[in-house]
Amino acid sequence: MESRSRKGTCHDNACVESFFSHFKSEMFYLNYFQSEEEQIQVIEIYIFHYNYKRFLKRLNDRAPIEYRISMVKSF
């Protein structure tokens, strides 16, 4: 995968790298897919889970989407 960060600023891409690390270890490496359609479906389910159901201590025990919404409301 091609890097999207600016030259000399490796931290620009940290959130994407973090997501793909979790994605691979929590979903991709743990499954064997029978078809491309099955793989797409499982990826979509995982992304929904990651954004809406995966509560994180560092986000005040909220899912990422909940945390983002609360941040927008606070402005």
Residue 4 domain-assigned? no
Q: Average model confidence (pLDDT) for the chain?
A: 84
Residue 54 domain-assigned? yes
Residue 21 domain-assigned? yes
Please write the tens of the pLDDT for every residue from 17-42.
888 898 999 888 888 999 999 999 99
Which pTM does this prediction carry? 0.68
Number of domains in the chain: 1
Distance CA 3, CA 17 (A): 10
Answer yes or no: is pLDDT of 53 > 60: yes
Answer yes or no: is pLDDT of 1 > 90: no
Q: Give the pLDDT of residue 45.
A: 93
Distance CA 51, CA 12 (A): 20
Distance CA 43, CA 58 (A): 24
Length of the chain: 75
**What is the domain range of residue 44?**
10-73
Q: Give the pLDDT of residue 72.
A: 86
Distance CA 16, CA 18 (A): 5
